[in-house]
Amino acid sequence: MTARTSASAAAAAHGGPPASGAGADLLGLAPDDLPDGLVVADEHGRVICFNAAAARITGVDPSDALGRPFGDALPLQDIEGRRWWQLTDPYGGLAIRRGQPERNLLLGGREVLVSARYVRSAPTGPVRRLVIALRGTEARRRTELSHAELIATVAHELRSPLTSVKGFTATLLQKWERFTDDQKRLMLETVDADANRVTRLIAELLDISRIDSGRLEVRRQRVDMIAAVRRHVQAQTTAGQRPDRFLIRMREPLPDLWADPDKVDQVLGNLLENAVRHGEGTVTIEVGPAKDAGGGEGTSVTVSDEGPGIPEESMSRVFTRFWRGSKRGGTGLGLYIVKGIVEAHGGAITVGRAPAGGAQFRFSLPVAAPAFLA
């Protein structure tokens, strides 16, 4: 007998309405259709509904729970080992109580997220139904692990530049007269570079926070994508890359593009840096007009290299947090931020294999409207 039929039978035996309720009947839903665990007790505190999700989360067979007192069917304890139902006393206590917020409780050594609703026949009347919602802790644990990994990554990335800054500044303060001007300049340039590294990391963390909360702001201005690409290639060659390593291809005319120039620079800089650091051979940047799925105009940019590329099994994880294509450093946050920026513009980004065998990233941005018209 399934949890659904058992719940209905138990409800009928106790003279109550069907376990799914009239509203659920209108929607064509049953307790087993719900993604979360559902346990319902009647006015006497006996379980009349115990759906399949509740059985999966708690490890309790529905046949062992139906018809039993809810406290015996779900002997929940708090972190200190106290019986939860004795503490909350759903059917007693203040008549104005409407339920219990979600809490992390223990059930036979298993962690379960539990919330409860007290259904009363009148605002201060007796409890007619006790509705208990159950959820597993896997999603919360994944979030906690992600946050812990983020903290560990940030701590690791901050330690090196801050140690350098601290060491050089302390040395200069203590022994300023012993160094030549060239030595002082070298140390100060190192401090400046490491300070910039810390600043970039902090900016990445702020971007991640805004992306996760949906608060990433886009300040649209007229953007010359070809000029932006050339500027970033020039920055790479100034930093020591060979000019002949880069090939720019343009397909004109391009439509007028309104986007956030700072964030477009962030996307281009990240993709070019990835191609230079993790790829090999010539880095090709193609800029041209594009059409979105709805036929709207836009601009696309494709960055490809001739390196080993990205394994097929890893392509689905490229834009997730902490993914690293190699052991050549980096926080593993850049492509996650790139995807968030592109999508905040209403665009799309994909990854694939380049014709020469390396990695190929392609993003497209819609024409959109300037900020003062948005």
**For residue range 270-324, what is the model confidence (pLDDT) as tens digits?**
999 989 988 889 999 999 999 877 778 899 999 999 988 888 888 888 888 767 6
Cα distances (angstroms) measured from residue 112 to each of 15, 54, 75, 86: 30, 10, 12, 18
Return the pLDDT at 374.
52
Return the pLDDT at 69.
95
Are 246 and 238 in contact, with CB atoms under 8 Å apart?
no
Return the pLDDT at 112.
92
Return the pLDDT at 248.
94
Return the pLDDT at 315.
85
State which residues of the chain have pLDDT below 50.
1-23, 26
Return the pLDDT at 371.
58
Return the pLDDT at 210.
86
Whole-structure pTM value? 0.61
Return the pLDDT at 113.
93
Contacts with 92 (C-beta within 8 Å, 6 or more apart), sequence order = none
Return the pLDDT at 138.
80
For residues 300 and 288, give the distance between their C-alpha atoms in angstroms, rounded to a whole number.
6
